[in-house]
């Protein structure tokens, strides 16, 4: 293990949800819990067995650490391990604090040209990498991203990076769609009160065809329905956003058109990929951060996120650090 002085920690919708509702599905907050799982910091101490890191190293932290070498770890899908430790998922504490201890294998050294803030953004970025890989995004893909929050935006960034020829994004908010344009979306559609079928036909009309891939990032029932209707026969719908446990969807429509419906659970094996992309400047995640607060103003930062202002709110945990 290593001990870190934390630097940048992003606030996620799940952090806010635990704070407001005390649970997400089967994960219930029963005791006080430290939030935060999008993080970077500086190593200040290393355990005796640690050789690849040393004090002073700047690192990004992968929050999910398997506790045992089970079948999922053996096949490289450690995110599915039922006993995994995960920051800020009850009962495991997160890393929104000044000092934090973590498994050395899940701390990744940041190159000099990658900032702490970019390091913290690797966590949401990883959701996009994992989702687009599961979706099979490739050269020339036409992609529909449903929802333009932070996770919708990272999927836009990654889909374009992976060779998507055209990406269309839907959302209720005009300002969020503007941000989608900024990070590389080719088309945006502001949804008002259209039916799921109407949304699907708007997607088809702006793309000039039905998308082979839909990445659904809202979890809203009507959006999942629109995702099924919109996806080209033989294509893939990836469900990233999580809403109610039971959802009514046109499953026969998907079945008879051979639309594959895939889920994702967080990510695995994405940090090295993300660091390589950031270091080579192939992707730019900087526009995602719209607000910054010192740790002392954490409540204000959480309120800002809860109100849906901006995109990504970042907390600064190190009072001695003067960087922007």
Task: For 2-109+285-316, give the CATH class.
Answer: alpha beta
Retrieve residue 79's tokens. 């995110």
The per-residue pLDDT for 153 is 98
pTM value surpassing 0.85: yes
What are the residue ranges of helices labelled H in the chain? 13-21, 71-74, 116-135, 150-161, 174-182, 196-207, 221-230, 251-256, 271-279, 298-306
Mean pLDDT by 10 residues, the chain (324 residues): 98 96 94 97 97 97 98 98 97 97 98 98 98 98 98 98 98 97 98 98 98 98 98 98 96 98 98 98 96 96 95 91 59
The per-residue pLDDT for 319 is 75
The answer as to CATH 3.40.50.720 being correct for domain 128-263 is yes
For the chain, the domains span 2-109+285-316, 128-263
Q: Please report how many Cα atoms fall inside a 13 Å half-sphere around the Cα of residue 102, on the Cβ side.
A: 33
Contact predicate 45/2, CB 8 Å: yes
Retrieve residue 267's tokens. 């990510």
């Amino acid at each position: 293990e290593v001990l870190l002085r934390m630097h940048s920690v992003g606030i996620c919708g799940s952090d806010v949800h635990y704070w407001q509702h005390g649970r997400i599905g089967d994960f219930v907050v029963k005791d006080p819990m430290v939030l935060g799982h999008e993080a970077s910091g500086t190593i200040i101490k290393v355990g005796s067995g640690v050789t690849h890191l040393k004090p002073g190293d700047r690192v990004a932290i992968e929050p999910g650490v398997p506790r045992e070498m089970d079948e999922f770890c053996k096949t490289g899908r450690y995110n599915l391990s039922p006993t995994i430790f995960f920051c800020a998922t009850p009962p495991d504490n997160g890393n929104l604090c000044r000092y934090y201890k973590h498994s050395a294998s899940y701390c990744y050294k940041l190159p000099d040209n990658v900032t702490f803030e970019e390091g913290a953004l690797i966590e949401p970025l990883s959701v996009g990498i994992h989702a687009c890989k599961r979706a099979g995004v490739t050269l020339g893909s036409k992609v529909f991203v449903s929802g333009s929050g932070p996770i919708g935006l990272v999927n836009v960034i990654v889909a374009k990076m992976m060779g998507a020829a055209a990406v269309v994004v839907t959302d209720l908010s005009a300002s969020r769609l503007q941000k989608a344009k900024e990070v590389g979306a080719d088309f945006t559609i502001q949804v008002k009160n259209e039916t799921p079928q109407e949304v699907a036909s708007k997607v088809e009309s702006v793309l000039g065809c039905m998308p082979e891939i839909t990445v659904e990032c809202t979890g809203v029932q009507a959006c999942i329905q629109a995702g099924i209707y919109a996806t080209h026969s033989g294509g893939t719908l990836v469900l990233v956003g999580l809403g109610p446990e039971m959802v009514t969807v046109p499953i026969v429509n998907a079945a008879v058109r051979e639309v594959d419906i895939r889920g994702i659970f967080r990510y695995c094996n994405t940090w090295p990929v993300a660091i390589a992309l950031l270091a080579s400047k192939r992707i730019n995640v900087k526009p995602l951060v719209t607000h910054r607060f010192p740790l002392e103003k954490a409540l204000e930062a959480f309120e800002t996120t809860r109100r849906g202002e901006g995109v990504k709110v970042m907390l600064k945990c190190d009072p001695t650090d003067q960087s922007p």
